[in-house]
Structure 1
Amino acid sequence: MGLFTLDEARAELARLRPIIDEVIGLRADMVELSAALTPGGRPTDLGGMPERKATEARLDELMTTIQETGAELKGVAPLLLDFPADLDGEPILLCWVEGETVLEWYHRADLGFAGRRRLP
């Protein structure tokens, strides 16, 4: 996939919001279902193994949808997305993490999350 401009990345993030919201809800369901299925686990109204498998399949489908946009899914708890871009000729990743309302951070591709800076 190609590079994103900042406007394109922000538009893609806005388009992905319903998918992101579903991933966050399903992630919580998955954790609860998995805990209930462990020996001595507390039962849940969410179901059992069939529901866990269905939740896992749906999560995989949604994460694939996100990655097909060209965004890089770097984490799921918290959800972390990087959008390949260019800043003054330097390869960067526009970086969004769950809880942020706007895409306004980036880091050099070789530095990772710890090298995040606010966009100029």
Structure 2
Amino acid sequence: MFTVAEAKSELVRLRPVLDEIVALRADAAELGAAVNSGVRTGLGGMPEFKAAQARLDELMTRVQQTGAELKGFAPLLVDFPGDLDGVPVLWCWLEGDPELAWYHRADLGFASRRRLPV
């Protein structure tokens, strides 16, 4: 369980990892398309594709080891379990958000996403 402050702090620590996931995700997509079509890209071929996949697995494991939940890959969606006035919630960060500023009830999911209370 994270407080809002703890979730915000953990997100700051995770940002380099999340940024690397975004970059590698793009490389892996390009490499995968090249491998499937039999054409080499400037990024390489099958060995580089496998290396990108392995590194992505490592990075996603690092995120989950913090207690955060990686809910989406493209776009990245990271939830931090918490509690708001006795209600289980997930402090929610979506790729592109400049900071942790959203939450949603754990039982309702992303569709119930709301701004954090002031």
1:70: how far off? Answer: 0.2
**How many matched pairs?**
117
What does residue 47 of structure 2 align with?
50
Distance in 2, matches of 1:16 and 1:55, equals 19
Distance 1:42 1:92 in 2: 46
- The CA deviation string for residues 56-82 of structure 1, in whole angstroms up to 9 with x for no partner, is 000000000000000000001000000
Displacement of 1:42 after TM fit?
4.8
Secondary structure of the structure 1 residue equivalent to 2:24: helix
Measured in 1, the distance between the counterparts of 2:47 and 2:41 equals: 13
Shift of 1:38: 1.3
Gaps of 5+ in 1: none
Which residue of structure 2 aligns with residue 118 of structure 1? Answer: 115
RMSD, aligned α-carbons: 0.9
Q: TM-score, normalised by structure 1?
A: 0.95
CA distance in 2, matches of 1:105, 1:13: 13
- Identity between Structure 1 and Structure 2 (%): 68
Residue of structure 1 aligned with 2:21, choices 17, 23, 26: 23
Residue ranges of structure 2 left out of the alignment (5+ in a row): none
Segments ≥4 residues shifted beyond 2 Å: none
